Chain A
Amino acid sequence: SYELTQPPSVSVSPGQTASITCSGDKLGEKYGCWYQQKPGQSPVLVIYQDNKRPSGIPERFSGSNSGNTATLTISGTQAVDEADYYCQAWDRSTGVFGGGTRLTVL
């Protein structure tokens, strides 16, 4: 079955750029999404179709996807961005999530 791999944790200082990676076989040939989940809350879509932002998501969130790796980038990271982030893709109409990355803003 298809798998997506994320680093368990990423740390960043306020105002700096955070990058969270997601690896999967030929992931660049699939569309990827990213979801933000804060403790006790439902996931929220922050990036879809690799690099598109839903309305209401700040411009500091961006995405890319090429080869075997998708990347979520948060520019000018703020304390409010501290959360778990999950990448997600579709493999033959079956959903697959990465293991999640805990973003800590120090």
Chain B
Amino acid sequence: QVQLVQSGAEVKEPGASVKVSCKASEYPFSSFAIHWVRQAPGQRLEWMGWINAGNGNTKYSQKFQGRIAITRDTSADTAYLDLTSLNSEDTAVYYCARSPFDLRWLDPWGHGTLVTVSS
């Protein structure tokens, strides 16, 4: 079935950058979008941005503008989230999720990647 497999947990120091991957399988990768959503401990889901896996166009939440980049490698059916200038408030589980280009739904979601920012 359709699956999104994410990279493993990361521990980063404040000021560092992190790159999380999301490998898709069992569907035509370039025919859908990939979104990134994060969830800090005990907090709500927070949408970060998305990429059209076909043409590479992106849109980001204003909150992360300037320190986020979402990219994709169509040869590897994989999307990536880069987040720079990390601080303790970036400690969260980061999820990727698939959507059609018209944004009707997010399904399925990856299993999540815990990023811990600590000195």
A58 at the A/B interface (Cβ < 8 Å)? no
A95 near B47 (CB under 8 angstroms)?
yes
Interface centre among A33, A43, A48, A97 (most CB of B within 10 A): A43
Given contacts A94-B59, A98-B44, contact A42 B106 (CB under 8 A): no
- B23 part of interface (Cβ distance < 8 Å): no
> Is the Cβ of A97 less than 8 Å from the Cβ of B47?
yes
CA distance A86 to B47 in the complex (A): 12
- The answer to whether A54 touches B110, judged by C-beta atoms less than 8 angstroms apart, is no
Interface size on B, residues (CB 8 A): 22
B112 touches A100 (CB 8 A): no
17 contacts between A and B (CB under 8 A): A33-B106, A35-B45, A42-B108, A42-B110, A43-B45, A43-B97, A43-B109, A44-B107, A45-B108, A48-B105, A54-B107, A86-B45, A88-B47, A93-B103, A95-B47, A96-B47, A97-B37
A44 touching B109 in the complex, CB below 8 Å, given contacts A31-B104, A93-B59, A95-B35: yes
* Count of interface residues, chain A, beta-carbon cutoff 8 Å: 23
Question: Which residues in B have their C-beta under 8 angstroms from that of A48?
Answer: 104-105, 107
A99 within 8 A of B: yes
> B-contacting residues of A (Cβ < 8 Å)?
1, 31, 33, 35, 37, 42-45, 48-49, 54, 86, 88, 90, 93-100
**Cβ A97 vs Cβ B44 within 8 A:** yes
